[in-house]
Structure 1
């Protein structure tokens, strides 16, 4: 059954990815969510509709939690997730992860789709339409890139590690917290990247292209599929204090496992975990 879940999710992600390819840089911004860097376009809504159609055609009894059906803000996101988790099978969907990139024509946007069974992510896909790269994972079934197995990197220390993070939409609090983490980690790691898609960062940790990733104040649809990818590729996913990942985690740390403890330690020392 897991194979069918993944196959349907991959098909839905490809359909949405085709829409992204066709509309990048041409979309109309129809609103701002938490700030002027947290955008939504008509294509976000169209992409989510495409995904919903594909998923419900295959699994009409399943429920779907999509980003575009949730009110702006951290509290609204957390409440929507809590209400949705009563469903036995719940798809968690980000139709365009990297909408700001999408609006500006910057070709780093992904589709992220995860399936949750009784609050555990059991299948997930992240699709990068610009590189035609499909990252897929099944619970206890490993992770793949375009059908080939992937694994996390083997860096053992931060000084040779390439990390990634982001710039949260909440400029009043979360961005300042994340900047403290950047300031603390940049002198001790090889370098830091910020591509503008948390899902893609997680896929890159899973595939060994990044040693680790952290970010403050993300939502379940940003993290669910990528968290499974990292775990199934042999990596570690926790909150920024090192506690085990659950769907309720909003402050994420993911790595190859070998650098996880020092990564968490530095975030804690810098008061950059976001956990109050």
Structure 2
């Protein structure tokens, strides 16, 4: 197997098993939520998915570290919620016995909580560290929209492999009412692929590539649903400046990265809404690599590369701009003009 090929496989299997869990939660009558201190919604599926994914990673690579979004404090305090989540985890593991050799099992509720808490790495510039978002786009998940289970490996601060399951993304974008559910995966230098969630675990994915556009008037934007995540007004002004006339596509989660990587759209903008907000590494790691391996460029709003070596956040970056190589520079020029900032000096 090529370098990081096993990591790619384990990532695919982990997000696949976790998506079984999240999908079962959504289609059940149980969509219980709790509220973290930052007031963002967390579903029982977040906890279950984090346990399943971290269990898979540590089964295959026991010495690796994980940066995860959740901890098990709520479950340790609330027995009813703990048992509910454990039931979901147990069902997900039992429903995929063919994956046991590769990604293991979760023995009981105590191990489940311990696995969730293993997502406590502070990240950094050294070693093998996985960035995990068990449900990226929780609000999208709750409303039946787009969400993703996202996992990426960083080696010495550089994203090198990962996978992302998008249970509600159409398999064929030309028939949005058809089959839904895809898994994207990628390795640095080896391209990016997509396959249906319904495909067998060992099925090969199909290579994906961004649209090779040169005229931005033909492009389409992808942006966040939540205005609190990105400035819709500024993005509309940038679209106008670039001559883009198509209505923007709004969706939650890193599904946006996957969508433009396979050619559903052309430009993803996430402009800063606050001078102090720091993007979380788990919100961008695998998506960034997917777009790059599909022929795109991903930087911050100032044209700087995203730096995943600084800890749990992209504290040295502001915003995100992803676009095809042929037009990324033009998009950055328009973004910086709208934001009133100077270009980053060439190295």
| 1:238 Cα deviation after fit | 0.7
CA separation in 1, counterparts of 2:252 and 2:327? 23
Structure 1 position 201 matched with structure 2 position 256: yes
Could you tell me which residue of structure 2 aligns to residue 227 of structure 1? Answer: 288
Q: Tell me, yes or no, if the aligned pair for 1:33 and 1:40 is still in contact at 8 Å.
A: no
* 1:165-220 CA distance string (max 9 Å, x none): 11557x4xx65x443223432573123111111x1111112111110101135321
Select the residue among 260, 263, 270 that pairs with 2:328.
Answer: 260
Question: Under a length normalisation based on structure 1, what TM-score does the superposition of the two structures give?
Answer: 0.85
- 1:37-76 matches, within 5 Å, as 38-69=40-71
TM-score, structure 2 normalization: 0.68
Any unmatched runs of 5+ in structure 1?
72-79
Match of 1:77 in 2: none
User: Is there any run of 5+ residues in structure 2 with no aligned partner, and where?
Assistant: 74-118, 169-179, 196-204, 273-278, 309-313
Aligned residue among 146, 155, 180 for 1:108 = 146
User: Runs (4+) of structure 1 moved beyond 3 Å?
Assistant: 32-35, 80-83
Conserved 8 A contact 1:14-1:129: no
**Residues 69 and 179 (structure 1), Cα distance of their counterparts in 2 relative to 1, 3 Å cut:** farther
Q: 1:269 aligns with which of 316, 326, 337?
A: 337
**Contact between 2:47 and 2:72, CA under 8 Å: does it hold in 1?**
no
Q: Tell which structure's C-alpha radius of gyration is larger.
A: 2
Q: Could you tell me how far apart the structure 1 residues matched to 2:320 and 2:210 are?
A: 17
- Using the alignment, how far apart are the partners of 2:64 and 2:185 within structure 1? 20
Secondary structure of the residue aligned to 2:339 is coil
Q: How does 1:5-44 map to 2 (within 5 A)?
A: 5-24=7-26, 26-32=30-36, 34=38, 38-44=40-46
Q: 1:127 to 1:207 in 2, by over 3 A?
A: same
* Count of residue pairs the alignment pairs up: 258
| Contact kept in structure 2, 1:180 and 1:272, CA below 8 Å | no
Shift of 1:87: 4.8
Q: Whose RCO is larger (CA < 8 A, sep 6+)?
A: 1
Question: Given that residues 220 and 250 in structure 1 are in contact (C-alpha distance below 8 angstroms), is that contact kept between their aligned partners in structure 2?
Answer: no
What's the counterpart of residue 156 of structure 1? Answer: 214
Whole-angstrom CA distance in 2 between matches of 1:61 and 1:42: 27
Alpha-carbon separation, structure 2, partners of 1:234 and 1:45: 34
